[in-house]
Structure 1
Amino acid sequence: MSVASRSAFEPVVIPPVELAGDLLTPPYPKGLVIFAHGSGSSRFSPRNREAAEGLVAAGMAALLFDLLTEAEARDRARVFDIDLLTRRLVQAVDWAGGRPDLRALPIGLFGASTGAAAALRAAAERPEAVSAVVSRGGRPDLAGAALERVRAPTLLIVGGDDEPVLVWNHDAARRIAGPVETAVIPGATHLFEEPGALQAVIRMAVAWFDKRLQGSG
């Protein structure tokens, strides 16, 4: 029986705004990766869920949750409110830190699109809690001045044909204070829909988190 097939699935609610989430936990997890989806998406993002399955198979727990309530998600201004998305992600980090079965696990943040900006800002706000960050087709430029306070090792994964996002990622990499690498997937566009592109993203993310999240479980 595979690790993935033995993992636990638990619907959760993250207070105080009561954000719905799904927690996937393998036996003896070495770390926890919290996902921050992009604009117009949710915890049901098929790309994030595929990535979560890859992380769980590698021995890491994964938390997918909605950064916005249903009412908020219908407001386009909220969808692009990086300050609000950051507060919600910090809320999830703090929630994990207060839960007995998760508090010992180092935390990684996996952001996509606008969620990547929120992940980087959250890493800057919780430097003691966040051990690593991965951005998938992200907008790290939207993190603004917080980039200069990010100490967590950061991997920026971007498609080679995803202009101008590619330029924004290279520019952001020069501003991030901590260790940073930019991985460009040739021929890939923003959603990594090309054959093998998303699988390459997942392999890179799993390797990045596997090296940097070493829990006590």
Structure 2
Amino acid sequence: MASESVLLPVRTPIGEAGLDGDLAVPEGASGIVLFAHGSGSSRLSPRNQAVARALRNRGLGTLLLDLLTAAEEEVDAQTAEMRFDVAMLGDRLMTAVDWLGRQPLTADLPIGLFGASTGAAGALLAAAGRPAEVRAVVSRGGRPDLASEALSLVQAPTLLIVGGRDEPVIAMNAEAARELRAPHHLEIVEGATHLFEEPGALDRVAELAGDWFTRHLGGAR
């Protein structure tokens, strides 16, 4: 198990003011995982922070990034319109992927994307747009169906994790899986609801994601 690495506040050149994030890269990291939050969440999401800690303990770097500016978050809190603008989320994630490729700490690391809720659709759009850079994708309780026509263009191996009691989202993920041409797997966490709040459910998500990224992020870019 790797020792806990230091979180470095960063600002990526996305949008007019840039977007804030927390970057952590353990010594000897085998890859870097960019988190795509959704449904009004942010880099402070306790669920994604817990998964990120588990990934770092397995020797993977993480970048938890706000995908909306403070002003956009205020608008989204009233209208919920921006969290469903998956094209914008995908574009911003592609810019973040490009940014990681220019940073000394991460330039040589293969990149994975971890998307939750609508962030999963943005992650898949980014994977389709950056096929050479994105090596793996994991979706937690995601809406990959919102990536629609981009699904067949994704080349990165993709893991779709859904709670066993989250029936509408299971159907949406099954629909999206039929469109994927890349290697993929739909994993149902029995007894879990949409937010994986049940005892042990989020630990299972972290274990599944860690296994997937460890398997597919081997080797330098």
> What TM-score do you get using the length of structure 2 for normalisation?
0.94
Deviation at 1:80, TM superposition (A): 1.4
| Structure 1 outlier segments of 4+, above 4 Å | none
What is the aligned partner in structure 2 of residue 94 from structure 1?
A: 98
Q: Cα deviation per residue 1:74-110 (whole Å; 9 max; x = unaligned)?
A: 2221121111111111111010011122111000000
Question: Would you say the 8 A contact 2:14–2:92 is kept in 1?
Answer: no
1:36-55 matched pairs, under 5 angstroms: 36-55=36-55
Deviation at 1:3, TM superposition (A): 2.2
Whether 2:8 is the aligned partner of 1:10: answer: yes
Identify which range, 62-71 or 99-108, moves more after superposition: 99-108
Q: What is the alpha-carbon distance in structure 1 between the residues aligned to residue 14 and residue 199 of structure 2?
A: 41
Question: Would you say the 8 A contact 1:111–1:134 is kept in 2?
Answer: yes
Deviation at 1:4, TM superposition (A): 3.0
Whether 2:159 is the aligned partner of 1:146: answer: no
Amino acid at match of 1:32: I
Q: What is the alpha-carbon distance in structure 2 between the residues aligned to residue 125 and residue 202 of structure 1?
A: 26
What is the aligned partner in structure 1 of residue 202 from structure 2?
A: 198
Q: Cα deviation per residue 1:133-181 (whole Å; 9 max; x = unaligned)?
A: 0000000000010001011000000011102100010111110110000
What is the aligned partner in structure 1 of residue 27 from structure 2?
A: 27
Deviation at 1:214, TM superposition (A): 1.5
1:115 to 107, 114, 119: 119
Whether 2:183 is the aligned partner of 1:183: answer: no
Question: Would you say the 8 A contact 1:154–1:179 is kept in 2?
Answer: yes
Whether 2:63 is the aligned partner of 1:63: answer: yes
Percent identity, aligned pairs only, is 55
Q: What is the alpha-carbon distance in structure 1 between the residues aligned to residue 10 and residue 190 of structure 2?
A: 37
What is the aligned partner in structure 2 of residue 85 from structure 1?
A: 89
Secondary structure of residue in 2 paired with 1:74: helix
Secondary structure of residue in 1 paired with 2:179: coil
Secondary structure of residue in 1 paired with 2:113: strand
Question: Would you say the 8 A contact 2:93–2:126 is kept in 1?
Answer: yes
Q: What is the alpha-carbon distance in structure 1 between the residues aligned to residue 187 and residue 200 of structure 2?
A: 15
Amino acid at match of 2:44: F
Secondary structure of residue in 1 paired with 2:162: strand
Unpaired segments ≥5 residues, structure 1 = none
Q: Cα deviation per residue 1:53-86 (whole Å; 9 max; x = unaligned)?
A: 0010000000001000011112221121111111
Q: What is the alpha-carbon distance in structure 2 between the residues aligned to residue 159 and residue 148 of structure 1?
A: 24
Deviation at 1:216, TM superposition (A): 4.0
> What TM-score do you get using the length of structure 1 for normalisation?
0.96
Secondary structure of residue in 2 paired with 1:178: coil
Question: Would you say the 8 A contact 2:115–2:139 is kept in 1?
Answer: yes
Unpaired segments ≥5 residues, structure 2 = none
Deviation at 1:16, TM superposition (A): 3.7
1:156 to 154, 160, 167: 160
